[in-house]
Amino acid sequence: MPSVKDKNFLGELKEDAAVYQINSSLAIVQTVDFITPVLNDPYAFGAVAAANAIGDIYAMGAKPIYALNIVEFPVKSLPLSILQEILRGGADKALEAGVSIAGGHSIEDNAPKYGMAVTGFVDPTKLVKKSGAQPGDVLFLTKPLGTGILTTAIDRGLTGAETEQEIYKIMAHLNKGAAEAMMEVGVHACTDVTGFGLLGHLIEMMNGSNTSAQVFLNRVPLIQGARELAKTGAIPAGTHNNYRYIRNNVKWEGHDKKEDIMLLCDAQTAGGLLIAVSQEKADQLKAALVKAGCLAAEEIGRVAEKEEKAIKVLA
Ligand code: CO
Ligand code: CO
């Protein structure tokens, strides 16, 4: 992030997207994200990359409006039909989100990469920041964890084709319904769980809010099979890095199985929303998330007064 002096920029460093206020009822929200292939099927990769890019707009409580494609592709070594499938996957996902693709830019590169710069609108008085959590809040997660571990297992040939289809559905699932539910109910803070894993993103939220959190390990939703594969060591490098980054900030209360630590640190692609809501509104939010068809609507923890460690994981 640049050091921003223009007072029309809202929000602080490390928010999911940049927010620029136009007037008292309108701010534009902008983000950019592109990734390397996480699935073998090019159409599925395109759809997941689009869902992942648009996710940062939903995390701020904004409505995504339009996007520009960002493409890197090895035109000399791969057939153009693959690129067309990637773009078709992205276009279909954008259409589902109500996002117009208004252009883009492509360059030659030795490995494919795809994503989007996405622009959204929000009422600045309703903007949801990462830094608004308060002691006593309930934490919700709207998708199960484990996409990093499962995509690594697929890469290593440890799983069948059904698994690829299953995690494609999870990663490509838009956070649109989750965002609409949280905006309807009114929440204190939100971020999307992506590359830094649940604990990495939760630490950012807690540090930004000057609070600490308790995570209830048994209530954290996991993708079926992820725990067993984590035990066999199908752990991506990004997840190991996340663990090194967070370990001094997390206290494990009477439970420190390696597979559980790795799952809570697992680098996600297009993960769910992590939401902090007041205790009075927690039931209402849960009902709204379920009604919106979210893949998970689990109460995974609580926000507490700031302690020495940002997070305590309880078994
Ligand atoms: Co984000
Ligand atoms: Co992002």
Q: What is the pLDDT of residues 143-152, one digit of tens each?
A: 999 999 999 9
Q: Point out the ligand nearest to the CA of residue 52.
A: 2
Residue 2 lies in a domain: no
Residue 1 lies in a domain: no
52 half-sphere exposure, CB direction, 13 A CA radius: 28
Listed residues 76, 103, 126: the one ending a domain: 126
Would you say residue 25 has pLDDT above 70? yes
- Are residue 150 and residue 101 in the same domain, yes or no? no
Is 231 in a helix, a strand, or coil? helix
Compute, in angstroms, the gap from residue 15 CA to the centroid of ligand 2: 9
pLDDT at residue 256, as a whole number:
77
Total domains in the fold of the chain = 2
Residue 122 lies in a domain: yes
Compute, in angstroms, the gap from residue 255 CA to the centroid of ligand 2: 31
Q: Point out the ligand nearest to the CA of residue 59.
A: 1
Q: What is the pLDDT of residues 208-243, one digit of tens each?
A: 999 999 999 999 999 999 999 999 999 999 999 999
- Are residue 228 and residue 121 in the same domain, yes or no? no
- Are residue 56 and residue 205 in the same domain, yes or no? no
pLDDT at residue 255, as a whole number:
73
Would you say residue 314 has pLDDT above 90? yes
What is the b/e burial string over 121-136, where b = at least 16 CB atoms within 10 angstroms of the residue's CB? ebebeebbbbbbbbee
Listed residues 96, 126, 156: the one ending a domain: 126
Contact 249, 204 (CB under 8 A): no
Q: What is the pLDDT of residues 36-68, one digit of tens each?
A: 999 999 999 999 999 999 999 999 999 999 999
Q: How far is CA 11 from the centre of its chain?
A: 18
Residue 295 lies in a domain: yes
Q: The whole model's pTM is what? A: 0.96
Residue 133 lies in a domain: no
Residue 67 lies in a domain: yes
The boundaries of the domain holding residue 301 are 138-314
Q: Point out the ligand nearest to the CA of residue 35.
A: 2
Residue 132 lies in a domain: no
Would you say residue 4 has pLDDT above 80? no
Which CATH number do you get for residue 70? 3.30.1330.10
Would you say residue 277 has pLDDT above 90? yes
Q: Point out the ligand nearest to the CA of residue 56.
A: 1
Would you say residue 3 has pLDDT above 90? no
pLDDT at residue 13, as a whole number:
60
Would you say residue 138 has pLDDT above 60? yes
Sign of CA dihedral 259, 260, 262, 263: positive
Mean pLDDT, residues 233-259: 93
Which residues sit with Cβ closer than 5 angstroms to ligand 2, an ion?
33, 56
Compute, in angstroms, the gap from residue 16 CA to the centroid of ligand 2: 6
Which CATH number do you get for residue 241? 3.90.650.10
CA max distance for the chain? 58
Listed residues 91, 126, 161: the one ending a domain: 126
Mean pLDDT, residues 198-208: 97
More confident residue, 161 or 186: 186
Residue 77 lies in a domain: yes
- Are residue 274 and residue 230 in the same domain, yes or no? yes
Compute, in angstroms, the gap from residue 77 CA to the centroid of ligand 1: 32
pLDDT at residue 5, as a whole number:
75
Compute, in angstroms, the gap from residue 192 CA to the centroid of ligand 1: 5
- Are residue 107 and residue 166 in the same domain, yes or no? no
